[in-house]
Amino acid sequence: MDLPLLNRALHPIPKAPVRIVHLGLGAFHRSHQAWYTQQAGDAANWGIAAFTGRRPDAATALAGQDGLFTLVERADTGDSFTVVGSIVEAVDGADIQRLTEVMAAPATAVVTLTITEAAYGLGSDGKLDISAPEVAADLARLGSDQGNPATPLGRLVLALAARRDAGAGPLAVVCCDNLSSNGTVAREAVAGFAGAWDTGLAAWIGTNVSFVSTSVDRITPRTTGEDVAGVQAACGYRDSSPVIAEPFSSWVLSGDFPAGRPRWEDAGALFVEDIEPYENRKLWLLNGAHSLLAYAGQLRGHSTVAEALADPLCMQAVEAFWDEAEANLSGTEATADLQIPAYRAALLARFGNARIAHNLAQIALDGSTKLRMRAVPVLQAERAAGRSGAAAALMIAAWMDCSSALPGFQDPLGDEVAAANSLAGAGRVRALLAVVDPALAADDAVVELVQGQCGRFAGHPASG
Ligand code: CS2
C-alpha cells in the first residue's frame, strides 16, 4: 500500500504568514534556521519563503509536500523525528518575480542567507571582486535590463531595489554562512554589488538594511536514499526530502532587527554584543578541525569525519591545531563564557558520532575560501606571538597535497590552483599559498614552514 506524502492535512502545522525570506534553500537552512523558527514562541507569526540556490529541484520536492519536511536528529544512541513546518513557500531561486514580490512586502522583516562562503565573491583581499565573471555578468544584466541576475548576491540586490521602490521600509539581512564577521562581509559584498549598479540603491541599503552577524552550528550531512527509506519506515508517511542532523545546535547573533524578528532565543539562540570570540571559537575549533580532517583524512584513505578522527595521525594533528587556536582565543572578556575545554571535549564526541556519515569530500569543497577563515587567522596569530604556527600550516599543506593528489579536486579558484600545481618545490607552495592569502605567500619563512609540512599525510595510508 502506498503511504501518503507528507502534507499539512496529515500534519496540521498552520501556515504562518511570510515574514522571512531565505536565500539558499539547502539542508543546513532546514536543520538550523527553519528549526529555530519553528521552535520560537511566536512561530505562528513567522513563515519563511525559501528560495533555492544551486539546487532548484529542492524547491520542487518541498513544494510538493507543502514545505514540510522531517528533521531526523541523529544521536549516537538513535534517531528522533520532528516535522518542521516553518517554510511556507519553497521557490526556485530563478523566480525573481516571486522574490521581488515577497521582498517588497512591508511584512517581510528578515532575510536569512546560506549561500556558501564562496558566493560572497571575495577576492583574497576580502573584498567583493566585481570583475569576477559571474558578478560582471550579473552587473551587465542589471545594467541593460536584459535577463535576471543569476548569483545570490545579484538576486538579493535586485530584490532590495524592489523593496526600496515599494517604500516597504528597513529590514535585517542575517548572514548564516561560515565566515568571520559574516554580517560585515555580507554588508560589504551587497554594498559593493549595489554600488557598481546603482549608487542611490547602495545609499538606501546603507541606511535601511541592518546586517546581522551570526555564528551558526549544526552538523548536517547530505541525506541519502537510505535516510529517505528510514523516515518512511519509522514515520508511516513518505518524505522525499528529510534532513539529517546531529542533536546539537547553536546560533549566536549580534545586530539590529529594525522590523522585528522571531523569538529565536526560545529555541536557545544567544544574542550578544561582541560576537567575535564566539565566531572564532566555532570557525577555528569546529570548522578548522573539519577542514584539517577533510584533507588529512582523505589523503589517509578515509571517507567520513568519524573515520578520520579514529586515525591517531589525524587526531594528533587536530589536537595540535586546537592547542594553537586555543592559545589565541583566550584573553578576551568572553573567554570564561567560551568554556574552551568543554567545547573541545564536546567536539570530540560530536565528530565521533559514527551514526552521522559526514563526508570528508563534502567538507573539502571550496578550500581556498574556507582556509582563509579556518587556518590563516590562527597561523597569523601564532606567528605574531612569536610561535611557529606549524599545526595551522599543516592544514594548509594538507589542502595543497589534496589539490594535486585527489582526482576531482574542486576549488572556486581552480584555474589558479591548477597553474600553481604545474610548478614544483617552493615555487608551487608559494603559488598555492598566494591563492589562499597573498601576504602569507610573500613571507619566505611561512613558505618554508608550509613546504616542510607537505607530504605528512600523503603516502601514509591508514592501515586497514
Ligand atoms: C563544514 C560545515 O562543510 C563544511 O565546511 O565544516 O558545514 C560544518 O559542518 C558546519 O559549520 C557545522 O555547524
Q: Are residues 239 and 287 in the same domain?
A: no
Q: 454 and 396 in contact (C-beta within 8 Å)?
A: no
Q: Are residues 401 and 289 in the same domain?
A: yes
What pLDDT score does 461 carry? 56
Pick from 271, 299, 316: which residue ends a domain? 271
pTM: 0.94
Pick from 236, 271, 306: which residue ends a domain? 271
| Ligand 1 contact, 363 CB (< 6 A) | yes
| Ligand 1 contact, 218 CB (< 6 A) | yes
Q: Are residues 79 and 213 in the same domain?
A: yes
Opening angle at CA 34, ends 153 and 75, nearest 5? 120
Q: Are residues 261 and 405 in the same domain?
A: no
Write out the DSSP string of 165-215.
Answer: HHT---EEEEE-SS-TTHHHHHHHHHHHHHHHH-HHHHHHHHHHEEEEEEE
Cα 261 from Cα 280, distance rounded (Å): 25
Q: 52 and 185 in contact (C-beta within 8 Å)?
A: no
ipTM score of complex:
0.99
Q: Are residues 258 and 381 in the same domain?
A: no
Q: Are residues 281 and 298 in the same domain?
A: yes
Considering the domain boundaries, does residue 10 fall inside one?
A: no
What pLDDT score does 121 carry? 84
Cα 79 from Cα 356, distance rounded (Å): 11
| Ligand 1 contact, 178 CB (< 6 A) | yes
Backbone angles phi, psi at 386, to 5 degrees: 85, 15
What pLDDT score does 390 carry? 98
| Ligand 1 contact, 368 CB (< 6 A) | no
Cα 327 from Cα 153, distance rounded (Å): 36
Of all protein residues, whose CA lies closest to atom 6 belonging to ligand 1? Answer: 287
Task: Count the Cβ atoms, other than its own, within 10 Å of residue 386.
Answer: 6
Helix H segments across 32-181? 33-39, 57-63, 96-103, 133-144, 152-166
What pLDDT score does 60 carry? 94
Considering the domain boundaries, does residue 68 fall inside one?
A: yes
Q: Are residues 114 and 145 in the same domain?
A: yes
| Ligand 1 contact, 287 CB (< 6 A) | yes
Q: Are residues 376 and 354 in the same domain?
A: yes
Residues 6+ apart with CB under 8 A from 330: 340
Cα 286 from Cα 374, distance rounded (Å): 9
What pLDDT score does 395 carry? 98
Q: Which of 373, 389, 363 is nearest to 443 (CA)?
A: 389
Q: 89 and 8 in contact (C-beta within 8 Å)?
A: no
Cα 125 from Cα 413, distance rounded (Å): 14
Considering the domain boundaries, does residue 5 fall inside one?
A: no
Crossing angle (nearest 10°) for helices 376-384 and 390-405 = 150
Report strand pairing: 171-175 vs 209-217. parallel
Residue 363 Cα to ligand 1 middle (Å): 7
Residue 148 Cα to ligand 1 middle (Å): 30
Of all protein residues, whose CA lies closest to atom 13 belonging to ligand 1? Answer: 217
What pLDDT score does 146 carry? 83
CATH of the domain at 383: 1.10.1040.10
Residue 322 Cα to ligand 1 middle (Å): 16
What residue has cell string 565566531? 279
Residue 219 Cα to ligand 1 middle (Å): 6
Pick from 271, 297, 325: which residue ends a domain? 271
What residue has cell string 552577524? 213
What pLDDT score does 118 carry? 87
What's the longest Cα–Cα distance across the chain?
Answer: 69
Pocket test for ligand 1, best of 246, 287, 370 (most atoms within 8 A of CB): 287
CATH of the domain at 169: 3.40.50.720
Q: Are residues 259 and 358 in the same domain?
A: no
Residue 195 Cα to ligand 1 middle (Å): 31
Instruction: Give the sign of the dihedral formed by CA 357, CA 362, CA 368, CA 370.
Output: negative
Low-confidence ranges of the chain (pLDDT < 70): 1, 124, 331-334, 459-464
Considering the domain boundaries, does residue 288 fall inside one?
A: yes
What pLDDT score does 464 carry? 40
Residue 217 Cα to ligand 1 middle (Å): 8
Residue 38 vs residues 7, 25, 256: alpha-carbon distances, Å: 16, 16, 21
Considering the domain boundaries, does residue 66 fall inside one?
A: yes
| Ligand 1 contact, 290 CB (< 6 A) | yes
| pLDDT per residue as tens digits for the range 118-150 | 899 877 677 788 899 999 999 999 989 888 999
Q: Are residues 417 and 285 in the same domain?
A: yes
Q: Are residues 251 and 354 in the same domain?
A: no
How many domains is the chain partitioned into structurally? 2
Pocket test for ligand 1, best of 178, 285, 292, 365 (most atoms within 8 A of CB): 178
Crossing angle (nearest 10°) for helices 289-299 and 367-374 = 130
Cα 96 from Cα 158, distance rounded (Å): 9
What pLDDT score does 463 carry? 45
Task: Count the Cβ atoms, other than its own, within 10 Å of residue 170.
Answer: 16
Q: 337 and 215 in contact (C-beta within 8 Å)?
A: no
User: What residues make up the domain containing 49?
Assistant: 18-271
Q: Are residues 252 and 300 in the same domain?
A: no
